[in-house]
Homo-oligomer: A and B are copies of this chain.
Amino acid sequence: MTEDATVTAGPSPHRHTFAPAKIAGKFQGKHIISVDQFAKDDLEILFDATKSIRKRSRQHDRGLTEIAAGRVMASLFYESSTRTDMSFQAAMRRLGGDVIAASNGVRFSSVYKGENLADTVRAAGCYADVIVLRHPQVGSSYEAAYFLDKLNQRIDKRTVVVSGGDGVGEHPTQALLDLFTIIDSKGALDHQSITLVGDLKNGRTVHSLSKLIAYYRPKGTRLNMVAPETLRMPESIIAMLTDLDVEIHETEALDDVLGESDVLYWTRIQEERFANKEAYDAIKDHFIMVPELLDQAPKNAVLMHPLPRKHEMGTVEDHEGLDADPRSIYFEQMENGMFVRMALLAKVLREAYV
């Protein structure tokens, strides 16, 4: 994930010792580092704010730029993620806020000089009101939150961290925008058949989305998990979903569930996860979405993808074919990402305004 060996240490111990506050109806001043902070009421508040902001944004409502006016967001991306990075920046800008970032990228600066994350985050915390952190180390956003809380005891200022993804750990805003897009496109989460496809063992996005679906406590919703035997969804997540009354259907064959899927959530399978090329070749055709495969999905299904996409959506020609299908909503999903992040930043910075 990164070329810089100095930042690829093991997971941060703070992942296990620091517990972020539950939202519980109040966003302002809270770090946003895990989907575990959200209950159904919180999601409904956030998604209502998202819809309102999207509508006002499309009307070029200049009042939006009052929400974060005078506030500063520091963008600390220790690994590149153009999409998440620009989405957060655009969100802050469209709320009238400002963005700062190291001119040469953060990879080449404090880290290069050997400073630890704790001190860099506190530097940013002195200058900014919110820090968006992307870091290859699992648990880094917990560590950032822990040290910002320490800083906030010393200086007259409350700075929060919003996770932009930490290694193979969590990426909560991706899960929030995914769930928002499902509900927004289907009208509700209840009674949907949602099919997750790809590497469900290692895929950060499908783990967080599954949890968030469960926290929303839908009625009559079924999660179809389509993955090779060796890349199945972890047992702990399956157990949690079952406990929260989400119906689970695990299979290796997309055909089992394609015809009944209301939502297709497509992700990547990486060849290097397999013991040998034969093992990969044996299953790969079930996991490449192409126009001919989408033709077999229901007429009112939607096709989602967290992007970026590569060979799991075939060739460049296949991309064009899929893009032309009205069921493909991954670009709308991406645009929703900006609106969800606008709502989240607005709530975290100035609750009352949205």
Which residues from chain A sit less than 8 Å from chain B, CB to CB? 58, 60, 62, 64-65, 69-70, 72, 74-77, 79-83, 85-87, 89-90, 93-94, 98-110, 112-116, 118-120, 122-124, 126-128, 150-151, 154-157, 307-310, 316, 319, 323, 331-332, 334-335, 337-338
Query: Are A127 and B87 in contact, with the CB atoms below 8 A?
Result: yes
| Contact residues in B for A101 (Cβ distance below 8 Å) | 86, 89, 103
A114 vs B312: C-alpha distance when bound (angstroms): 13
Give the shortest distance, in Å, between A34 (CB) and chain B (any CB).
23
Query: Are B331 and A113 in contact, with the CB atoms below 8 A?
Result: no
Known contacts A83-B123, A87-B127; A75/B103 CB under 8 A:
yes
For A94, the closest partner residue in chain B by CB is B72
Query: Are B110 and A338 in contact, with the CB atoms below 8 A?
Result: no
Among B60, B104, B107, contact of A77 (Cβ-Cβ < 8 Å): B104
| Contact residues in B for A89 (Cβ distance below 8 Å) | 100-101, 127
Given A105-B108, A118-B316, A127-B335, 19 other A-B residues pairs in contact with their CB atoms under 8 A: A58-B157, A65-B70, A72-B90, A77-B103, A82-B109, A82-B115, A83-B110, A86-B101, A86-B124, A87-B123, A89-B101, A89-B127, A93-B98, A93-B100, A104-B107, A105-B105, A151-B331, A154-B331, A155-B332
| Contact residues in B for A82 (Cβ distance below 8 Å) | 102, 106, 109-110, 115, 120, 123-124
Query: Are B105 and A106 in contact, with the CB atoms below 8 A?
Result: no
| Contact residues in B for A335 (Cβ distance below 8 Å) | 126-127, 155, 157
A74 vs B83: C-alpha distance when bound (angstroms): 11
A75 vs B103: C-alpha distance when bound (angstroms): 7
Query: Are B319 and A86 in contact, with the CB atoms below 8 A?
Result: no
For A123, the closest partner residue in chain B by CB is B83
Query: Are B93 and A58 in contact, with the CB atoms below 8 A?
Result: no
| Contact residues in B for A74 (Cβ distance below 8 Å) | 86, 90
Query: Are A331 and B126 in contact, with the CB atoms below 8 A?
Result: yes
Query: Are B331 and A86 in contact, with the CB atoms below 8 A?
Result: no
| Contact residues in B for A60 (Cβ distance below 8 Å) | 70
Give the shortest distance, in Å, between A51 (CB) and chain B (any CB).
13
A72 vs B99: C-alpha distance when bound (angstroms): 13
Query: Are B80 and A114 in contact, with the CB atoms below 8 A?
Result: no
